Amino acid sequence: MPAREPVGPAVATAPAQPDPAAPRLAPLETRHFELAPQQALVGETQVLFARHENTFSAIGRQYNLGYEEMRRANPGVDQWLPGEGTPIYLPTQTILPETPRTGIVINVPAMRLFYFTTEKPAAAGGPEVLKVATHPVGIGTEGWATPFGEAKVVEKARDPTWYVPASVRKEHAERGDPLPRIVPPGPDNPLGKFAMTLTLPGYLIHGTNKPAGVGMRSSHGCIRLYPEDIEALFGRVARGTAVRLVNQPVLAAWHDGQLYLEVHPPLAEETHDLVAEADAALSRALERAGAGAAAVVIDRAAIEKIVT
C-alpha cells in the first residue's frame, strides 16, 4: 500500500480497529491545504464503513483518491462489492515531493499531482501564504510511460479536439479497434472537456471520459484527472506555469514530533533499492527537522514492513 506511516511510536489518525457504531464524521479536507514553513505532510488518514452500493471507484472519486491508492490501502477487499459495514481505509494523507514549491509537480509513481500557489494574505501587510492543491492522476501504461523532466504549460483548450498520434492509431488498428485521425469534442473524446498542452512534445494534462482510469496506468503517457479536478485546475493555471514530473516513490517527513515514511511501488520500467532510498529520505527529513528530531531512533523493522 502507499504507506503513510510513522517510523517510531505507533500512532495513526485512522483507528486500527474502527467501530462501525461510532458517529460518522464529516469528510476532512483532501484537496486544498495551506502550508506552514517546512511543512511536508498534508491531510489525515480516514476510515469509513461501506454501504452496499459503494465501490472503490465511487469512494475514491468522492475522497480525492485514485484506484491504486484505494486498492493498496485495502488489501483483500473486493473493489466492486466491499460489503455492507466493511471498514474502508482512505489514505488521504500524503507527503509532498522534494521539489521547489512552485507551479505543478507530478510525482509519477505516486500518481499524484500537486499545484503550489502563493497568495496574498487576508490582512494587509501580512506574509504571503503558500498553498497546495493535490489530485490523483492517471499516467502512462507500460510501453507508453509518462516521461520525467521539466516543462511548462504552453496552451490551454476548452472542449479540446484530439488529433490522434499515428502511433496510437497503429496500436488500436492492430487490436481491431481503429481510431479516426481526429476525435471532435464530446463524450467519446478521451481528453475530456479541458486540456493543457505541455512543452514536452505530445504530452498534455487533461480530463477524461473514463474516470475509473484515474489513479492507475491508463493513458498513452499523458496525465489524466477526474473531470471536476481538471476543471478546477484549468481555471487557475496560467500559460507558462512550470511543470515538474518527478520520480519519487519514497518520501519522508517530520511532522508534529513524528517521522513519517511513504512508499509507492516503483514503475515496472524502473529499478530501485527501496530500503536505501528510504534510509536516504529519512535522513534528509531528520536533517530538515534539526534539533527537534535529534533524539529520534528509527525503527528498522518498521522500515522493512513499509518497504515490503
Q: Identify the CATH number of the domain in which residue 159 sits.
A: 2.40.440.10
Do the domain assignments include residue 113? no
Q: How confident is the model at residue 305 (pLDDT cuts 50, 70, 90)?
A: confident
Contact assessment for residue 278 and residue 7, using Cβ atoms and an 8 Å cutoff: no
Contact assessment for residue 103 and residue 243, using Cβ atoms and an 8 Å cutoff: yes
Do the domain assignments include residue 122? no
Do the domain assignments include residue 115? no
Contact assessment for residue 34 and residue 127, using Cβ atoms and an 8 Å cutoff: no
Assess whether pLDDT exceeds 70 at residue 254: yes
Which of 43, 65, 94 is a domain's end point?
Answer: 94
Cβ within 8 Å of residue 256, ≥6 positions away: none
Do the domain assignments include residue 130? no
- Say whether both 280 and 187 belong to one domain: no
Q: For the chain, give me the number of helices (H) and strands (E)?
A: 6, 20
Mean pLDDT of 141-157: 96
Do the domain assignments include residue 45? yes
Segment holding 304, helix H or strand E: helix 300-307
* pLDDT score of 199: 98
- Say whether both 254 and 222 belong to one domain: no
- The residues assigned a catalytic role are 206, 222
178: Cα within 13 Å, side-chain hemisphere: 2
Give tens-digit pLDDT for 159-212.
999 999 999 999 999 999 889 999 999 999 999 999 999 999 999 999 999 999
- Say whether both 144 and 46 belong to one domain: no
Instruction: Look at strands 149-158 and 162-163 and give their pairing.
Output: unpaired
- Say whether both 220 and 284 belong to one domain: no
Do the domain assignments include residue 1? no
Contact assessment for residue 223 and residue 208, using Cβ atoms and an 8 Å cutoff: no
Contact assessment for residue 205 and residue 104, using Cβ atoms and an 8 Å cutoff: yes
Contact assessment for residue 225 and residue 208, using Cβ atoms and an 8 Å cutoff: yes
Do the domain assignments include residue 140? yes
Which of 201, 216, 246 is a domain's end point?
Answer: 246
* pLDDT score of 12: 32
* pLDDT score of 20: 59
- Say whether both 22 and 84 belong to one domain: yes
- Say whether both 150 and 89 belong to one domain: no
Whether the pTM exceeds 0.75: the reply is: yes
Give tens-digit pLDDT for 25-78.
455 678 999 999 899 999 999 999 999 899 999 999 999 999 999 999 999 999
Query: What total number of domains does the chain contain?
Result: 3
DSSP string, 137-196: -BEEPTTSPPPPEEEEEEEEEES--EE--HHHHHHHHHTT----SEE-SSTT-TTTTEEE
DSSP SS3 for 261: strand
- Say whether both 233 and 292 belong to one domain: no
Mean pLDDT of 116-132: 86
Mean pLDDT of all residues belonging to the chain: 89
- Say whether both 185 and 257 belong to one domain: no
Do the domain assignments include residue 235? yes
* pLDDT score of 26: 52
Position 160, amino acid: P
| Residue the block writes with cell 489524466 | 224
The CA distance from 295 to 287, in Å, is: 12
Contact assessment for residue 179 and residue 170, using Cβ atoms and an 8 Å cutoff: no
27: Cα within 13 Å, side-chain hemisphere: 14
* pLDDT score of 10: 26
- Say whether both 236 and 257 belong to one domain: no
Give the structural domain span for 273.
250-307
- Say whether both 199 and 265 belong to one domain: no
Which of 198, 225, 246 is a domain's end point?
Answer: 246
- Say whether both 147 and 86 belong to one domain: no
- Say whether both 43 and 83 belong to one domain: yes
Instruction: Look at strands 194-198 and 204-206 and give their pairing.
Output: antiparallel
